[in-house]
Amino acid sequence: MTDKNLKSEIDKRRTFAIISHPDAGKTTLTEKFLLYGGAINLAGSVKGKATARHAVSDWMEIEKERGISVTSSVLQFNYGGFCINILDTPGHQDFSEDTYRTLMAADSAVMVIDAAKGVEPQTRKLFKVCAMRKIPIFTFMNKLDRDARDPFELLDDIENELGIPTCPMNWPIGSGKDFKGVYDRERRMIVVYSDTQKGTREGHTEEIPLSDKDRLLATLGDTAFEKLMEDVELLDGAGSEFDQDEVDAGMLSPVFFGSALTNFGVELFLQNFLKMTSSPLARKADTGIIDPSSSDFSAFVFKIQANMNKAHRDRIAFMRICSGKFTAQMEVLHVQGDKVMRLSQPQQMMASERHIVDEAYAGDIIGVFDPGIFSIGDTVCSPNVKFAYEGIPTFAPEHFARVRQIDTMKRKQFVKGITQIAQEGAIQIFHELNTGLEEIIVGVVGVLQFEVLKYRLENEYNVEIRMDTLPYEHIRWIANAENIDINKLSGTSDMKKVTDLKDRPLLLFINSWSIGMTLERNEGLELEEFSRN
| CATH assignment of the domain containing 498 | 3.30.70.3280
Provide the domain limits for residue 436: 399-528
Candidate from 33-47, 72-86, 257-271 with smallest mean pLDDT: 33-47
User: Average pLDDT of 48-77?
Assistant: 51
The predicted structure's pLDDT at residue 313: 59
Coil vs helix vs strand at 512: coil
Cα 447 to Cα 403: distance, rounded to the nearest angstrom = 14
Residue 100 is assigned to a structural domain of this protein: no
The reply to whether 138 and 247 lie within a common domain is yes
Q: Is the pLDDT of residue 200 over 70?
A: no
- What's the CA angle centered on 184, arms 182 and 186, to 5 degrees? 165
Residue 374 is assigned to a structural domain of this protein: yes
What is the CB neighbour count within 10 angstroms for residue 234? 12
Percent of residues, the chain, with pLDDT higher than 90 = 49
Q: Which residue has the higher pLDDT, 96 or 54?
A: 96
- pTM tops 0.75: yes
Q: Which residue has the higher pLDDT, 361 or 372?
A: 361
The reply to whether 114 and 241 lie within a common domain is yes
Of the residues 276, 304, 336, the one at which a domain ends: 276
Q: Is the pLDDT of residue 473 over 50?
A: yes
The predicted structure's pLDDT at residue 528: 84
Q: Is the pLDDT of residue 432 over 80?
A: yes
Greatest C-alpha distance within the chain: 85
Residue 391 is assigned to a structural domain of this protein: no
Coil vs helix vs strand at 333: strand
The predicted structure's pLDDT at residue 51: 37
The reply to whether 271 and 288 lie within a common domain is no
The reply to whether 171 and 290 lie within a common domain is no
Note the pLDDT tens digit of each residue in 131-146: 877 889 999 999 999 9
What is the phi/psi pair of residue 18, to 5°? -110, 125
- Specify the amino acid at residue 158: I
* CATH number of residue 25's parent domain: 3.40.50.300
CB 20 within 8 A of CB 122: yes
Cα 429 to Cα 218: distance, rounded to the nearest angstrom = 65
Residue 412: partners with Cβ closer than 8 Å, 6 or more residues away = none
The predicted structure's pLDDT at residue 19: 86
The reply to whether 251 and 344 lie within a common domain is no
The reply to whether 443 and 351 lie within a common domain is no
The predicted structure's pLDDT at residue 202: 54
Average pLDDT of every residue of the chain: 84
Residue 308 is assigned to a structural domain of this protein: yes
- Specify the amino acid at residue 161: E
CB 92 within 8 A of CB 70: yes
The reply to whether 356 and 408 lie within a common domain is no
In DSSP terms, 166 is beta-bridged to 253
The predicted structure's pLDDT at residue 425: 77
The reply to whether 212 and 130 lie within a common domain is yes
Cα 149 to Cα 286: distance, rounded to the nearest angstrom = 47
Of the residues 353, 381, 409, the one at which a domain ends: 381
Q: Is the pLDDT of residue 10 over 60?
A: yes
What is the CB neighbour count within 10 angstroms for residue 435? 11
What is the phi/psi pair of residue 98, to 5°? -65, -40
Q: Is the pLDDT of residue 311 over 80?
A: no
Candidate from 8-12, 27-31, 68-72 with smallest mean pLDDT: 68-72
Residue 90 is assigned to a structural domain of this protein: no
CA 251 from centroid of its chain's CA atoms: 20
Residue 272 is assigned to a structural domain of this protein: yes
Q: Is the pLDDT of residue 307 over 70?
A: no
Of the residues 259, 276, 293, the one at which a domain ends: 276
The total number of structural domains in the chain stands at 3
Residue 26 is assigned to a structural domain of this protein: yes
Q: Is the pLDDT of residue 350 over 70?
A: no
Note the pLDDT tens digit of each residue in 201-217: 555 678 999 999 999 99
The reply to whether 270 and 294 lie within a common domain is no
The reply to whether 287 and 421 lie within a common domain is no
User: Average pLDDT of 84-94?
Assistant: 70
DSSP 325: E
The predicted structure's pLDDT at residue 382: 96
Cα 100 to Cα 103: distance, rounded to the nearest angstrom = 5
The predicted structure's pLDDT at residue 530: 67
What is the phi/psi pair of residue 281, to 5°? -90, 155
The reply to whether 182 and 307 lie within a common domain is no
Cα 19 to Cα 89: distance, rounded to the nearest angstrom = 6
User: Average pLDDT of 451-477?
Assistant: 90
Cα 374 to Cα 369: distance, rounded to the nearest angstrom = 10
The reply to whether 26 and 167 lie within a common domain is yes
Residue 96 is assigned to a structural domain of this protein: no
User: Average pLDDT of 398-420?
Assistant: 90
